[in-house]
Amino acid sequence: MDSLFTLNGKVAIVTGAASGIGQETARLFHSLGARLIVTDIDETGLKTAAAAWEGATPHRHDVASEADWTAVFAAVERDYGQLDILVNNAGIMMAKPFADAGIEILRRQMRINVESVYLGMQGALPPMRAALSKGAATTSIVNIASVYGKVAGAEYAAYSATKGAVRALSKAVASEMALTGVRVNTVMPGPVATNLGARWDPPRDADGHLIPPEEALAAWARMIPMGRLGGTADIAPLVAFLASDAASFITGSEFIADGGYTAV
């Protein structure tokens, strides 16, 4: 029974693996025996992280680029001949009052948060079919969305729209692929202390002054029933479960990890 929770020998792509949830997911996958292809636009950070995962193959990867996805899947075909797991984790979060948010705020996040998931899932199908033809029970796609795709986030209208799109896209593909052995599920983290949060422009107060990131994150923590922000180690085990054969009857589902944020 314990073997259900191993990823031993499975070939896995994790995007956005240079930091945050992606890095912790890749670390955990490696410890569970996965053969890793890790990608990020931050090539230096990715190589530093990947150095700790023996046998991991790092690729500089702009997830909004169709050409970059083609190159990643060509490398998978050349080096492994199959794919068992895809974690679409890379994304950006941009805060802007809706009245002041130009269309490019939406377009940029759509390209990185939604088009990347679309391209990744489409490109994953041929090597996943190869894995199934070689005897894999199922293959797994895990898309990282957000609780802001489920509930409102002040000044995150565009971001919320993209994460809501990831939820719907994941369900649609899961339904279409259900008989093929390709499973698709969504993880929706609540506020997590990662570089994603550190890099966005923090919100402004009523007088238009920027609120420092640490203050914004502390305000979020006060709204979480468990009294703290999530950590990357709170999210990665859920992703690993969905990637494993222990989740072989789970597809088209959504999993929230938010310390109770959306329960109140």
Q: Which residues are catalytic?
A: 159
Q: What is the arrangement of strands in the sheet containing 11-15, beginning at the earlier edge strand? A: 57-60, 35-40, 11-15, 85-88, 139-144, 182-189, 254-257
CB 186 within 8 A of CB 168: no
- How far from 150 is each of 87, 187, 248, CA to CA, in Å? 20, 12, 25
Q: What phi and psi values does residue 182 have, to the nearest 5 degrees?
A: -95, 115
**Rounded Cα gap, residues 11 and 248, in angstroms:** 16
Bridge partners of 12, per DSSP, are: 36, 85
Cα 61 to chain centroid, rounded: 14
**Rounded Cα gap, residues 259 and 264, in angstroms:** 11
Bridge partners of 254, per DSSP, are: 186
Q: What phi and psi values does residue 61 have, to the nearest 5 degrees?
A: -155, 115
Q: Which of the 8 DSSP states describes residue 182?
A: E
